[in-house]
Structure 1
């Protein structure tokens, strides 16, 4: 999986969602499917074992919760864009940025617990999955 897509899945969003003009239900459904796809791909890439499933489930839940939280904030921003003052506009960006920061911390906590119990070979898979794409080619 491309590291960029992994990072988006982990944080739960990308700026393209802020610019999407698709109807809310369609956009939310597509993003939920995308996050679920990323969860499945990362599960396979990291070779999650049955013994790790409980901790993996927490990671997957964080990924889904992060996506939903940010999607909801972006949808609110989109729905209110025409009525927002400049200050409200900036506040909506701040709420999205804060949700990303909070989500990143939740992901760090959940993934750290999983990573701590991984054998070294599996940690190397995780390390590679989280490296920027440029690092994969060096």
Structure 2
């Protein structure tokens, strides 16, 4: 569960466009992001005193998802007519949006994390730690 939450929080992206229309996929992605926000809120045991900072984390997650969804929608709409350069450019734009979104999420989460008590920081650390070690 925690790997799914962390992956969703960090990536907030979806590439399952072939199975449904872009609008349907985007709506489903919005719902998925909201589910991840709710689950992470619960797992991190966000207190009423932390709600304002948590709201900034959740907003960053939503903004990331929206930015990525918009770019993926554009890729989907233009896929048949893109040149190789346009295709690579759209991937670069996605990568940049992901990087920008990750930085915004980091800033919001760092502010929240800094004020957490040590026991809650441990819960957060565990939530963000991979379930299995990365292969060397």
Query: What TM-score does the superposition give when structure 1 sets the normalisation length?
Result: 0.91
- Residue segments in structure 1 that go unaligned for 5+ positions in a row: none
Number of residues of Structure 1 aligned to a counterpart in Structure 2: 133
Q: Partners of 2:113 and 2:33 in 1: how far apart?
A: 20
Which residue, out of 81, 101, 104, partners 1:103?
101
* Greater fraction helix: 1
- 2:64 counterpart residue number: 66
Paired residues for 1:69-108 under 5 Å: 69-108=67-106
- 2:27 counterpart residue number: 29
Check 1:51–1:43 CA distance in 2 against 1; reply closer, same or farther (3 A cut). Answer: same
Q: Partners of 2:18 and 2:113 in 1: how far apart?
A: 34
The answer on 1:48 being equivalent to 2:15 is no
SS of equivalent to 1:13: coil
1:20-60 CA distances to partner (integer Å, 9 max, x unpaired)? 34112211110000000000000000000000000000000
Q: Does the 8 Å CA contact 1:9/1:67 hold for their aligned counterparts?
A: no
Q: Which runs of 4+ in 1 moved over 2 A?
A: 8-11
Instruction: Note the aligned Cα RMSD (angstroms).
Output: 1.3
1:76-119 CA distances to partner (integer Å, 9 max, x unpaired)? 00100111000000000000000000000001100000000000
Q: Partners of 2:77 and 2:5 in 1: how far apart?
A: 26
- 1:12 counterpart residue number: 12
